[in-house]
Amino acid sequence: MLGAVFGDPAHRVSPGVMIVGGLFVVTASLLLMTSLDADTPLRRCHLAIGGPGPGTGCVITPMTAVAVASVPPRQAGMAAAGNNGFRQVRSALGPAVLGALLTVRALDAFPGHLAAAGLAGASAPASPKQLGPTA
C-alpha cells in the first residue's frame, strides 16, 4: 500500500536515491529492533516497527519503474512480471532461510540455557539428528 504513496516522489527524485534511502530506513529499523526489550519506551518501539513498511515502499516503486523503463515498450509487461516474480521469490526465501538458521541456532543453544536456568535434569527437544530416519 505504501508503494502508491511513494510513487509521486519517485518521479521527482532519482530512483537510486529512493532505493538507497528506503534500504537505509529498513536497515536502521531492523537494527533498532535488536535493542528492544520489555522496558523499551513505546515511542521507540513504534519507530522500530514502523520503519520497514515505508522503507520498503521507497524501494519497490522505483525498482519496478527502473525494470520497466530499461526494456523496449513492447517488453514492459514482461519486465514488470519478471520483477514481480523475483520479488515474490525473495519474499518467500528470506523468511524460510532465516527460520532454518534460527532453528539450528536455537537447538544448539537450548540445552545450555536449560542448565543455566537450573533445569539441568530437563531435556531439550529432540533435534532432527536424534530422531533418526523417517519413513
Q: What is the pLDDT of residue 123?
A: 57
Q: Are 130 and 122 spatial neighbours (Cβ–Cβ below 8 Å)?
A: no
Buried b (16+ CB within 10 A) or exposed e, 25-49: bbeebeebbeeeeeeeeeeeeeebe
Q: Tell me the H-state helices in 13-126.
A: 15-33, 42-50, 52-69, 76-116
For residue range 25-54, list pLDDT tens digits in order: 999 999 999 999 889 999 999 999 999 989
Looking at the fold, whether 61 and 96 belong to one and the same domain comes out as no
Looking at the fold, whether 1 and 16 belong to one and the same domain comes out as yes
- All three cell numbers of 35, joined, read 535493542
- All three cell numbers of 27, joined, read 536497515
Looking at the fold, whether 4 and 65 belong to one and the same domain comes out as yes
Q: How does residue 23 score in pLDDT terms, banded at 50, 70 and 90?
A: very high
Where do we find the cell 533498532?
32
Looking at the fold, whether 63 and 14 belong to one and the same domain comes out as yes
Looking at the fold, whether 78 and 55 belong to one and the same domain comes out as no
Q: What is the pLDDT of residue 133?
A: 60
Q: How does residue 14 score in pLDDT terms, banded at 50, 70 and 90?
A: confident
Looking at the fold, whether 8 and 65 belong to one and the same domain comes out as yes
The residues, ordered by sequence, that sit 6+ positions from 49 with a Cβ below 8 Å of its Cβ are 29, 33
Q: Helix or strand or coil: residue 13?
A: coil
> In the predicted model, is pLDDT for residue 61 greater than 90?
no
Looking at the fold, whether 41 and 97 belong to one and the same domain comes out as no
The share of the chain scoring above pLDDT 70, in percent, equals: 78
Q: Which domain holds residue 108?
A: 73-120
Looking at the fold, whether 14 and 78 belong to one and the same domain comes out as no
Number of domains within the chain: 2
